Each structure stands twice: as structure tokens, then as C-alpha cells.
Amino acid sequence: MADLKIGVVEDELVIARTILSTLDELGYQHCGPAINYTEAMQMLEKDKPDLLLLDIQLAGRKDGFDVAEQLNETNKLPFIFLTANSDFETIDRAKKVKPHAYIVKPFTREELYAAIEIAFLNFTGKQAIEKLEKPAASATRNYLFVKDGYVFRKVFFDELLYLESEANYVLLHLTSQKKIVVRSTINDFTEQLDPGRFLRIHRRFAVNSHYIEDIFPNEISLRSEKLPIGKSYREELLRVLGIADR
């Protein structure tokens, strides 16, 4: 069994206590429960769980799908939906945010254990493969093709100043001040780029580190642009750039 810390997002406290008790029996560390979107974000930042058990129905305006979208954008964290809903509409919505497992309540201790272990194993295995493949891919080319209207245009990495996420599209800001709109999420698009050069600084922005000029507490400047730095990205940004934040 992996030594994992499991975060719990569940707004029904009786169910949350049952989940925490089961995690204790299985020997996992845990944090939470968070009962809404805001508490879930705070728990992720403060407690840094390795995997999240996520109820779909939460207190407040935002639900588990909103938490999942944020996880996909910023945290690169495996998550498992725990829900009483197994209807076609809910499953269809769940597929769009790509959970690492889906458990229908009520569930057994064995079902929870199997889902956690397999979800985490698949997640870490995929990450390991991506780390091995990406350097090889980036070493062989310094460009990519993007669809610009009816044309596939070659864009050299040196042309890319920064990327901006707009829902299911990515806006490429080029050094020439031209902009190209690409149908993709920012996560999927940055996977095509050199991870040592193109750095996420915010859930909406990734930048070409070659053009970073100044780093302020809450923003960076590159060329004549200033972009915000998200709290959850600052530490990794400084680490990759070799900066000691003292």
C-alpha cells in the first residue's frame, strides 16, 4: 500500500466521517473534509493531498465538477468521484473532466481501496511515461503546427511569447504581436511544448521563460506585458528558474 494522503471533499458530514474512518482502517493519511469549492481549494493549497475523493454534489453554487476542472487546470492531482448519482447525464458530465475513478455510494471498504490504489498507480505511471517521452520529443524539434483558419501554420517556439486559456480555446500570443486561436485546453496544448521552457504561472497563462524580464510578488513582466502569478504556481515557477524566494 502506498503511503498516501487522501483529501476528502464531502458536504454530508455523516458520510464524510464514514469515509475518514474507512481511510483510517485502510492505513491512509487524510485531510478534510471540505464541504464546498472554497474549502476544497484551501485544503489543496494547505494540506497538499496526493489524491482527492470528491463528491459531485457540494454545498454552495459550485459543485464537484468545478473542483475537478480546477484540478485539471492547476494541480495535476488524481481524483475519484464519490457520488450517489449514476444516471446517464451525470456520467456524461463526469467523462468530460476525466476522473481517475468513479464510485457509486454506498461502497465497500474493498471497493474504495481498489479505486484509490489503481487510480494513483495509473496516474503516476502515466506521469513517468510522459517525463521520459517529452525530453526526446522536444530535443528533435523546435516548432509545432497549429491550425490558423484553414491553414496549418508552423510556429517556432521562439515565436511564442505566452499562452492564454479561454475555456476550450488557447490564445497564442506571438512575439510579432499576432494572435492565433487554437481549439484546445491549455493543459493539452502545453503538453506539446518543452516543459523546461514553457512554464505555467496561472490557471489561465503559460509563458516562454526565455522572455521573462522581471518577477514581482504577484505578477511577471515579459516584453511590454504583465501577467498575474497564481498562488499555487509561484513556488514551482521559482524552483524551475533556480530562484531562492527569501
Which CATH number fits the domain that encloses residue 94? 3.40.50.2300
Residue 140 has pLDDT above 70, yes or no: no
Please compute the mean of the pLDDT values over residues 12-26 and round it to a whole number: 93
Q: Which of 135, 166, 191 is the last residue of a domain?
A: 135
Residue 109 has pLDDT above 70, yes or no: yes
Residue with cell 476544497: 40
Same domain membership, residue 220 and residue 172 = yes
Distance between CA 189 and CA 94 in Å, rounded?
A: 21
Same domain membership, residue 189 and residue 111 = no
Domain extent for 185: 141-241
128 compared with 71, residue with greater pLDDT = 71
- The DSSP output letter for 52 is E
Same domain membership, residue 116 and residue 26 = yes
Q: What is the pLDDT of residue 4?
A: 87
Nearest to 58 by CA among 33, 78, 80: 33
Question: Which residues partner with 81 through β-bridges?
Answer: 54, 102
Residue 167 zone, left/alpha/beta (φ > 0; ψ -120 to 50; rest): left
- Which grid coordinates belong to 174? 506571438
Please compute the mean of the pLDDT values over residues 6-12 and round it to a whole number: 95
Q: What is the pLDDT of residue 130?
A: 53
Same domain membership, residue 66 and residue 160 = no
Q: What is the pLDDT of residue 136?
A: 47
* pLDDT tens string 223-236: 889 999 998 888 88
Same domain membership, residue 190 and residue 117 = no
Q: What is the pLDDT of residue 150?
A: 74
Same domain membership, residue 17 and residue 119 = yes
Question: Which residues partner with 206 through β-bridges?
Answer: 163, 200
Residue 134 has pLDDT above 60, yes or no: no
Same domain membership, residue 152 and residue 129 = no
Q: Are strands 219-222 and 225-228 parallel, antiparallel or unpaired?
A: antiparallel
Q: Which of 116, 135, 154 is the last residue of a domain?
A: 135
Same domain membership, residue 124 and residue 34 = yes
173 compared with 135, residue with greater pLDDT = 173
Nearest to 120 by CA among 74, 70, 52: 52
Helix axes 37-47, 231-241, angle to 10 degrees: 30
| pLDDT band per the 50, 70, 90 thresholds, residue 127 | low
pTM over 0.85, yes/no: no
Alpha helices (H) along 60-197: 64-70, 88-97, 109-140, 186-190
158 compared with 142, residue with greater pLDDT = 158
Nearest to 227 by CA among 210, 203, 244: 203
Residue 137 has pLDDT above 50, yes or no: no
Query: Does residue 246 lie within any of the structural domains?
Result: no
Residue 175 to residues 12, 39, 119, 165, Cα–Cα distance (Å):
51, 39, 41, 18
> What share of the chain in percent tops pLDDT 70?
91
Same domain membership, residue 153 and residue 122 = no
| pLDDT band per the 50, 70, 90 thresholds, residue 246 | low
Q: Which of 104, 135, 166 is the last residue of a domain?
A: 135
